[in-house]
Structures are given as structure tokens and as C-alpha cells.
Amino acid sequence: MDAQPSLLDELLRHGLLFDTGVDGLYGRAGIFEEVISGIETMVVRIGHVDRPEVIRFPPGMNRAHFEASGYLKSFPHLAGTVHCFCGDEAAHGSLLADLEKGRDWTGGQKASDIVITPAACYPLYPIVAKRGPLAAGGGLFDLSSYCFRHEPSTDPTRMQLFRMREYVRVGSPEQVVDFRSEWMERGKTLIDKLRLPYVVDVANDPFFGRGGKIIANSQRELGLKFELLIPVSSQANPTACLSFNYHQDHFGKLWGITQADGDVAHTGCVGFGLERLAIALFRHHGFDTTQWPAGVRAELGLT
Ligand code: ATP
Ligand code: ZN
């Protein structure tokens, strides 16, 4: 039997996460954040040798860029939008009356120019496209963002708001494929250092609907997505903690990103699910970090 609810209970009981009343939306304790910082420092230590350009995004992105990205075609069920009150005083009166009477007050809310970022790399592509053709070496970016996915769950590794750390490579097919192979090895080394069990396997994104199944199958057949999976909530269904994606020329074509020679750029990304990695550590090494193996504490810089 899967132990998903009890893992959440344990994380709450040990004061590592705080319940907000919404599945997948939690406060994080100081020590939980220290673990996340430790993981990020390890990731940077491995990745900084390639001198990536660092960009930090807020959890929201330009709605027009989101619409153009095709996300709503593939993952309408996961998207989150920011709606706001834009009415006059009369509209404010009806909003308050609806609230008071316990009626739905959200009907008058209007979509703003911002949607919640679904993956850390989504806001990057239009920025790169706007700069014009890439230099001969292509581009390499170190990104981080809070991300939203509407997938409420009592499995603490499936949050609605979580942090994704990504390295993104933009360039020729060879540059992107090499980047992904390199990071698959680096990812394994990182998880070995954290003394966590894992497997790496081919994967697919959760494309929506019947048509989505066909796209997901082709993504698997072409080996476009791999995941590093760690047993966390369940032994039988390990959790994807790192993902290694090759988008081919999908985003290059979509945004008009070109290589130095004018060819359409290819892109790929490696994504680190920071909360998933932290929870995997608590699950395997215990809820008290002072009892974690000395080597793991040292890697994470826990004092
Ligand atoms: P792409 O850019 O192709 O959309 P991506 O790498 O940006 O893909 P995913 O592979 O879907 O995005 O997610 C990256 C990582 O984020 C996953 O490996 C996982 O660790 C983490 N993640 C995904 N969904 C959740 C969630 N609901 N809660 C916590 N972490 C998640
Ligand atoms: Zn990505």
C-alpha cells in the first residue's frame, strides 16, 4: 500500500511543512529551506564551470508569451492565471454583497496580463529570441522560478506551487544533445552524493486529452524526456526529481530563435524539483537533519 498521506502527515507533524488548508500549498520551515539552499549550492557548484547566464524569474510570466507558448494546447488542465478586480464602485458593491452572502464573487474578476509560470524556462525563450541570432557557442542559462501546476494532491511531492531550478541550453542539435547527456551524468553524481536511491528512465509530459496520448507516446519513442526517479511517497511509483528534456526545434521555431548561421535553434533543459529533492532527503535520512549521515550534511553545508 502506498504511504502518501502518512508522508504528508509526518512532514507536518515534524514542523517541516505547514498546512494552509489547500492540498499542494504549504509553508516551509527554516530547516526545509536550508536543505533547499544546500541542494541549490550543490547544483551551482556542478554547473558554474560552464559559466551560464543567471536569470531569476518571479512566479508570474507575461500572459501573451504564455498564450504564444502553446501551453494551453498541451496542458490546459495544469495552467493557472491571475485574475483581478477591475470594476467601479457599483461592481465593488456587488462583490462585497456576494462575499457577504457566501455566493461566488469571482465572476467579475478579469484576466490580468500575468499568468503563473508553469516551468522556469517558459519566460526565457522570448527574451532570447528578442536578442537576435545566437553567438556561435549558443546560449546557456541558469534559471529558477516558483512554478504553478493545478494538480492538488495529498502527496507532498505533488505541490501546486513549487520551485524549479533549470539549466537551459540553446544552440545546435549537437550542443543541446551533449548538454543533456552531460547533465544526466552530473545529475546521477549529485544524487549519489546525497546517498539517495534512484533510477533514470524515459518519460513523457502529461499532455491533455486523447490527442495528448499520441504526443506522449511519440515523445517517449523519440527519447525526448528522461527523468531521474527516487522512491519517495511510494516504492512502486518513484517520483521524478530531475528531468532532462530535449525540445528539438519546437521553441526555436515557435519564438524564431536562430543560431549564428541562421538555422533554427534547438533547445533543451534540465529541471531540478527542489521541494521533491528536499522531501526525498527527509524521507530517506529521517525528519531530523542532525541525524543525517555526516557526508550528506557536509555536501549540503548543514552546520
Ligand atoms: P518542459 O520545459 O519541457 O516543460 P520542465 O523540465 O521544465 O519541462 P517538468 O519536467 O515537468 O518541467 O518538471 C521539472 C521538475 O519539476 C520535475 O522533474 C519535478 O522534480 C518538478 N515538479 C514537477 N511537477 C511538480 C509538482 N507538482 N510538485 C513538485 N515538483 C514538481
Ligand atoms: Zn524547461
Distances, alpha carbon 20 to alpha carbons 23, 31, 169, 237, in Å: 8, 19, 37, 26
User: Which pLDDT belongs to residue 5?
Assistant: 55
Measured distance CA(10)–CA(19) in Å, rounded: 12
The grid coordinates listed for 103 are 455566493
147 alpha carbon – ligand 1 mean position (Å): 9
- pLDDT tens digit sequence for 136-148: 999 999 999 999 9
User: Which pLDDT belongs to residue 1?
Assistant: 52
Q: How confident is the model at residue 303 (pLDDT cuts 50, 70, 90)?
A: confident
Whether 246 contacts 268, CB under 8 Å: yes
Mark out the alpha helices in the chain (DSSP H runs): 4-13, 30-47, 63-68, 71-74, 89-100, 124-130, 173-193, 209-221, 250-255, 274-285, 294-300
- pLDDT tens digit sequence for 251-295: 999 999 999 999 999 999 999 999 999 999 999 999 999 999 999
- Supply the residue whose CA is at minimum distance from atom 26 of ligand 1: 158
Return phi, psi of residue 286, to 5°: 105, 165
184 alpha carbon – ligand 1 mean position (Å): 15
- pLDDT tens digit sequence for 201-238: 999 999 999 999 999 999 999 999 999 999 999 999 99
DSSP per position, 26-38: EEE-HHHHHHHHH
* Ligand in nearest proximity to the CA of 225: 1
Domain ranges of the chain: 7-61+118-300
Q: Which of 31, 36, 45 is nearest to 291 (CA)?
A: 31
Is any atom of ligand 1 closer than 6 Å to the C-beta of 118? no
Beta bridge mates, 283: none
Measured distance CA(181)–CA(142) in Å, rounded: 17
Is any atom of ligand 1 closer than 6 Å to the C-beta of 119? yes
- pLDDT tens digit sequence for 157-213: 999 999 999 999 999 999 999 999 999 999 999 999 999 999 999 999 999 999 999
For the chain, what percent of residues have pLDDT higher than 70? 98
- For residue 81, pLDDT over 70 is answered with yes
Neighbours of 223 (CB within 10 A): 12
Q: How far is CA 289 from the centre of its chain?
A: 25
Is any atom of ligand 1 closer than 6 Å to the C-beta of 151? yes
Residues with Cβ < 8 Å from 247, sequence gap 6 or more? 224, 266, 267, 268, 269
- Supply the residue whose CA is at minimum distance from atom 12 of ligand 1: 119
61 alpha carbon – ligand 2 mean position (Å): 14
- Supply the residue whose CA is at minimum distance from atom 14 of ligand 1: 271
Q: Quote the mean pLDDT of the chain.
A: 96
* Ligand in nearest proximity to the CA of 246: 1
- Superfamily of the domain at 7-61+118-300: Bira Bifunctional Protein; Domain 2 (3.30.930.10)
pTM (predicted TM-score): 0.95
Is any atom of ligand 1 closer than 6 Å to the C-beta of 269? yes
User: Which pLDDT belongs to residue 4?
Assistant: 47
